[in-house]
Structure 1
Amino acid sequence: MTDYSPPQRYLPHEAPMCLLEKVVEVTESGAHCQVKVSSAGVLAPFLSDDGSLPGWFAIEIIAQTVGVWSGWHTVSAGEESVGVGMLLGGRGLRCPDGKFAAGTLLDCKVTLLMRDDKIGSFEGEILADNRVVASGRVNTYQPDKNELEQLF
């Protein structure tokens, strides 16, 4: 069993923008991360008055789990720092309840569908108590150093 660093090690995000708390597993074809909807956790700045997290955060939680997948592979290959990835968009994103209830442990799992040097497509789902509470496909782009210099 692999011992993983906190998600921030694999993402180019700092608080409060890292929406994940734990890396459960990373494989060649996917990743599994967790976060709890709690006023004492990383999601606290984004919670509604009733302590729930709006459902539209699902796309970013899925995208950050993809980022952990990419960052873990980068670090495992011996790179010192992880690159910036960009979310191009999502397809078929669903969150039937419209929110994630206070106190819920969210298990986010992503599976690689397709990837080339720069573009990737991943199927994602967020589970709570073994029930899918959000799902969808995200498409990502990994710019190279020259593109980042031009952008910034």
Structure 2
Amino acid sequence: MTDYLAPQRYLPHEAPMCLLENVIEVTETSAHCQVKVSPDGVLAPFLNSDGALPGWFAIEIIAQTVGVWSGWHTMRAGEESVGVGMLIGGRGLRCPAGQFPAQTLLECKVTLLMSDEKIGSFEGEILADNRVMASGRVNTYQPDKNELKQLF
């Protein structure tokens, strides 16, 4: 069994923008992370008056799980710091309930569909109690240092 670092170690995000709490598993083609919808957790700043997380956060939770996958592989390859990845789009994103209820433990799982040096496509789903709460495909872009310099 592999011991994983906290999600923010694999992402270029600082609080409160890291929306994940635990890394459960990373493989060659997948990643699995968790976060609890709780007023004392990382999602607290984003909860509505009922203590629920709006469903549109699903795309960012899926994208950050992809970022954990990418960051873990970057660190495994010997790089000291993780790069910036960009979410360039989503397809078929659904969150039928429109929100994630208070006190729900969310399991986000992503599976690599296709990638090259810069572009990646991942199928993602967010589950609670083995029920799919949200799903969809995200496409990402990994700019190189020169491209980042031009952007910023």
TM-score relative to the length of structure 1: 1.00
1:70-118 per-residue CA deviation (whole Å, 9 max, x = no partner) reads: 0000011110000000000100000000000000000000000000010
1:131 CA drift (Å)? 0.2
1:80 aligns with 80
Instruction: Name the CA distance, whole Å, in 2 between partners of 1:125 and 1:8.
Output: 20
Gaps spanning 5+ residues in structure 1: where?
none
Note if 1:128 corresponds to 2:138: no
Q: Residue 13 of structure 1 aligns to which amino acid in structure 2?
A: H
Letter in 2 for 1:104: T
Residue equivalent to 2:28: 28
Q: Describe the superposition over 1:20-78 as per-residue Cα deviations: whole angstroms up to 9, x where unpaired.
A: 00000000001000000000000000000000000000000000000000000001111
Q: How many residue pairs are counted as aligned between the two chains?
A: 152
Residue 66 in structure 1 maps to residue 66 in structure 2: yes
User: Which residue number corresponds to residue 107 of structure 1?
Assistant: 107
Q: Tell me which residue corresponds to 2:142.
A: 142
Q: Give 1:144 shift.
A: 0.2
Letter in 2 for 1:69: W
- Structure 1: how far apart are the matches of 2:39 and 2:52? 9
How far apart are the structure 1 equivalents of 2:117 and 2:4? 25
The whole-number CA distance in structure 1 between the counterparts of 2:78 and 2:46 is 34
Q: Counterpart of 1:47?
A: 47
User: How many Å separate the matches in 2 of 1:77 and 1:144?
Assistant: 16
Following TM superposition, the consecutive aligned residue runs of length 4 or more in structure 1 with deviations greater than 4 angstroms are none
Q: Distance in 1 between matches of 2:133 and 2:149?
A: 38
Could you tell me which amino acid in structure 1 is paired with residue 3 of structure 2?
D
Offset of residue 127 of structure 1: 0.2
Which ranges in structure 2 are unaligned for 5 or more consecutive residues?
none
Does the residue aligned with 2:135 lie in a helix, a strand or coil?
strand
Give me the CA root mean square deviation: 0.2
Report the identity percentage: 85
